[in-house]
Amino acid sequence: SAKTLQFSGGAVGTTAVSIALNTTGAGSAATAGTYTSTANFAATTLTDAIDTIAFDIAVDGGSAVSVTIDQTAVQAVGDNDTTIDDVAELNTILTNAGVTGVTASIVSSKLVLTSSTTGASSSVAISNYVETDADTDTTDGTGFAAGASAAGVAAVAAGAVKTVDELVTAINANTGLTD
């Protein structure tokens, strides 16, 4: 059952006003941190030996791992050509580069990197992106160039006590406490 805080009399007025101190309902599960590209994922061919895609990736607030994708890295996975054909190849490239705790997938045509942990400390961040193209014939379609990180959210148990911020928001939103 919901616990409430009541105000009555004084500056509030003669009618009691109730503010729930805990959540109601089933609660919610923790979520994982993600990085979602702004561009659609597309197969990417590194046509020249000096073409590279480089970036740093930090998972769950850990130290960033520097990743350099070049022809050698791409030829070591999948069908062993110079094209990153799909996220299966991309996942293997990331693993081979020492990246752990994250999985690449495609959601609504966008590259999504998802942390293997959940909760408020779950996160995936991409930084220091650089594409090197010897003669402008490579277009990076992986999605690392631009995107947004979203931290995971902690689970909320059914009937959990609200935070101070949630209580303040509920108090401020209560129309019974306005002039």
Tell me phi and psi for residue 121, to 5 degrees.
-90, 0
List CB contacts of 97: < 8 A, sequence separation 6 or more: 65, 67, 68, 69, 73
pLDDT per residue, tens digit, the chain (179 aa), is 556 666 555 455 566 667 777 766 777 788 999 999 988 899 998 988 899 999 999 999 999 999 999 999 999 999 999 999 999 999 999 999 999 999 999 999 999 999 999 998 999 999 999 988 878 776 777 878 888 888 888 887 777 777 777 778 877 877 776 65
Q: Are 35 and 126 in contact (CB under 8 A)?
A: yes
**Residue closest to 155 by CA, chosen among 28, 52, 48:** 28
Q: pTM for the full model?
A: 0.74
List CB contacts of 69: < 8 A, sequence separation 6 or more: 46, 52, 53, 54, 84, 93, 97, 142
